[in-house]
Structure 1
């Protein structure tokens, strides 16, 4: 009977999952806002510790730093897992999912984190670069048309699912893309309500007045 852990071993697999979760849990946006402005980013703007809100409240530089760091949190564990066990996509996908879960429900902020868009992008940049490039294009188009990051994020998530299905076919990577797409839309449910009411703010790098 095949080993359900793919010959990796449950102990090693669990360790990778734990480390990926802890790396994903690093609250970069929260720490950037705390160190640069002495504020809790969760009490300002959209109250989300993601890159867009950090850029809006703290500044463009802090927002870009948060964006790249959040992408790296997803890319690094997924890339290393894929390099370590290239024949087991399910392993790399599960490690990537752990990093996303860490970002969304960080242990360092009482399990209140971000929405996982940048970290998901990092994971799929390692697992499926071409579908991810299409997702980035979808995000950019959604943002350009609507001027709202939430619309860009959900558009990018939809593009990722469709591109993964078309380019990767059925499998663990496509299943993870679908799961992340559903999760991203779910975590944007308040944004969807604000969009329906015409209350969702447009994205700008102008800092929020104190």
Structure 2
């Protein structure tokens, strides 16, 4: 079969291209007139959108932050849902999940820079392992309320997803947890600067 007519390859390319769309950057530029890559943590994720836009338009900041989370999650889920409708295997669905997160973190539209993968990871996990993801989201919500530090709350929520998936008989419907672990590794790797700041006591809180 020709390379570019292989359904798996088509879905992998779509996953990367759609995963690479920097919604946070686009929303902040369009509606707030700011470039989040030049301010704050320089991330394109919701936390930096919220932090940067809040400096000039507090009322708009929360709306754009929520919109960024939703769109980043949806872009992770949408290709998987389409692939499901086409009857693709679970192995292919998990490969799409990994590639979507990679696209967000290393966007082709931003010179292979990008965000930290939390919302996109949420989107793919919610489709593929919904119960562990809901548990992880509850962990995140509790930690965010108590700690008010986005990075550590996100990472603790992610750990909650992984532990819950393992407890619930792995939950992946494939023979290996490797895709879930790889997505977790990517997100932790992208958070290394945050982890360093946490250790130094310099990580900022979200008001």
The correspondence for 1:203, drawn from 167, 186, 206, is 206
Q: Report matched runs for 1:133-148 at 5 Å.
A: 133-148=134-149
Match of 2:154 in 1: 153
> In 2, are the aligned partners of 1:82 and 1:127 still within 8 Å (CA)?
no
Unaligned residue ranges in structure 2 (runs of 5+): 54-60
> In 1, are the aligned partners of 2:97 and 2:124 still within 8 Å (CA)?
yes
RMSD: 1.9
Match of 1:74 in 2: 76
> Do the aligned partners of residues 84 and 60 (structure 1) sit closer, same or farther apart at CA in structure 2, a change above 3 Å counting?
same
Measure how far apart 1:17 and its partner are. Answer: 0.3
Match of 2:115 in 1: 114
The correspondence for 2:16, drawn from 21, 25, 48, is 21
Measure how far apart 1:195 and its partner are. Answer: 0.7
> In 2, are the aligned partners of 1:164 and 1:173 still within 8 Å (CA)?
no
> In 2, are the aligned partners of 1:164 and 1:177 still within 8 Å (CA)?
no
Measure how far apart 1:157 and its partner are. Answer: 1.1
Q: Which moved more, 1:105-114 or 1:180-189?
A: 180-189
What is the rounded CA distance, in whole Å, between the counterparts of 2:153 and 2:83 in structure 1? 29
Measure how far apart 1:145 and its partner are. Answer: 2.4
Q: Which moved more, 1:168-177 or 1:76-85?
A: 168-177
Q: Report matched runs for 1:1-210 at 5 Å.
A: 11-58=6-53, 59-85=61-87, 88-169=89-170, 171=174, 174-204=177-207
Unaligned residue ranges in structure 1 (runs of 5+): 1-8, 205-210
What is the rounded CA distance, in whole Å, between the counterparts of 1:160 and 1:80 in structure 2? 24
1:22-51 C-alpha deviation (Å, 9 max, x unpaired): 111111011111112322201111111101
What is the rounded CA distance, in whole Å, between the counterparts of 1:173 and 1:63 in structure 2? 34
> Do the aligned partners of residues 89 and 173 (structure 1) sit closer, same or farther apart at CA in structure 2, a change above 3 Å counting?
farther
What is the rounded CA distance, in whole Å, between the counterparts of 2:115 and 2:128 in structure 1? 21
Between the two proteins, the alignment pairs up a number of residues equal to: 196
What is the rounded CA distance, in whole Å, between the counterparts of 1:46 and 1:66 in structure 2? 16
Measure how far apart 1:10 and its partner are. Answer: 7.6
Q: For 2:42, what is the secondary structure of its paired residue?
A: coil
1:107-148 C-alpha deviation (Å, 9 max, x unpaired): 111110001000010001111110110110121122122210
Q: For 1:61, what is the secondary structure of its paired residue?
A: helix
Q: For 2:41, what is the secondary structure of its paired residue?
A: coil
**Large movers: runs of 4+ above 3 Å:** 170-174
> In 2, are the aligned partners of 1:168 and 1:174 still within 8 Å (CA)?
no
